[in-house]
Amino acid sequence: MGMAKSYYSKLIVDLYRLAGALIPRLAPAVGYPLFSLVGGLVHRLNHSARANVRDNIRHILGPDAPQSQINRLTRATFNYVAYNYYDLFRLPALDPEQVKAMVQVEGWENVEAALSLGQGVVMTSAHFGNIEVVLYAMLMRGLSITIPAERVEPPELYDYLSALRMSQGLKIIPIDGPMLELFRTLRRGGVAGIAGDRNVTGGGITVEFFGSPARLPDGHVRMAMRTGVPIILGFSQRLGRDSYRARFWPHFSIPEEGSEEERLAAGMAYVVRGLEETIRAHPEQWVVTVPMWRDDSIAAATPPG
């Protein structure tokens, strides 16, 4: 059994490496349609992920949303997931001029204002649009960025995917490991990037999210509270298959007065407001395929299609 698992793990890693070698050779006019087919296949075969995305989108749109709209947006979500893999595989081959042409940046003055305080910045985003290419665009502007990333199995695959993401200067640490490097990045005046939507570690706090209770991570806010650095929201939106918009909100400083719970609530309110506004505008670009609201009755009531 162990040998079979080892063989399967090696095969998966080898396939990813093969994709990493071949896919950068595919022009976007070929790569995106190809990965759209991949997204369609996963949408059809992965029943649990499809049900999860439907449930998430139903929460975003509300109970009166037509099922046809939910089904359409669900299918589109799997396209965006696949597109992100295409972009990740070709990330090491992208040059700065390509990235400059691909990414529109809005609100960069907000990042500069936060960094001018001289303490570093906790930047929070969501699994939305395409973060890989937008992070590259931020690195091109001279930022030092460290982000924690969820482990995937086998470990060799985690290492390979991390290497792709770090190919342009990003620093990645395991999300279940020590966070010391995040504090070091802040002390250097850099950016500690922490996702605000998926509660991977099992901690977090329950908040109202699109009108229903959901457990969201709170490590980004607690880090800002502990260090006294500002927190800023930054989101990526895919405008077309090969173009993106990076939008940065004005920074938020956690109040120094009040109880810990009150200060945490203030920071979470800032984050949740940004998450809801961004995701509501384009729910199909929220590439989260796990259930965000543990409501089995809604998921069970969702008809197939």
- The first and second tokens of residue 108, run together, are 């960069």
> What does pTM read for this prediction?
0.90
**Residue 66 DSSP code:** -
44 exposure class (CB count in 10 Å sphere: 0-12, 13-18, 19+): exposed
Q: Can you give the length of the chain in residues?
A: 305
Which residue type sits at 91?
Answer: L
- As for how many domains the chain has, the answer is 1
By three-state DSSP, how is residue 261 classified? helix
CA-based nearest residue to 225, from 205, 248, 208: 205
Name the one residue in this structure whose structure tokens are 């969702």: 302
Q: What is the pLDDT along the chain (305 residues), one digit of tens a residue?
A: 566 667 778 889 999 999 999 999 999 999 999 999 999 999 999 999 999 999 999 999 999 999 999 999 999 999 999 999 999 999 999 999 999 999 999 999 999 999 999 999 999 999 999 989 999 999 999 999 999 999 888 999 999 999 999 999 999 999 888 899 999 999 999 999 999 999 888 889 999 999 999 999 999 999 999 999 999 999 999 998 899 999 999 999 999 999 999 999 999 999 999 999 999 999 999 999 999 996 443 333 333 33
Q: What are phi and psi of 279, to 5 degrees?
A: -70, -40
The answer to whether 214 and 204 are in contact (CB under 8 A) is no
Q: Left if phi > 0, otherwise alpha if psi is -120 to 50, otherwise beta: which for 129?
A: left
User: Residue 214 is part of which domain span?
Assistant: 2-301
What is the 8-class DSSP label of residue 294?
Answer: -
> What is the pLDDT at residue 5?
67
Q: How big is the CA angle at 137 (ends 129 and 231), to the nearest 5 degrees? A: 75
Terminal CA-CA length for the chain: 37
DSSP code for 188: T
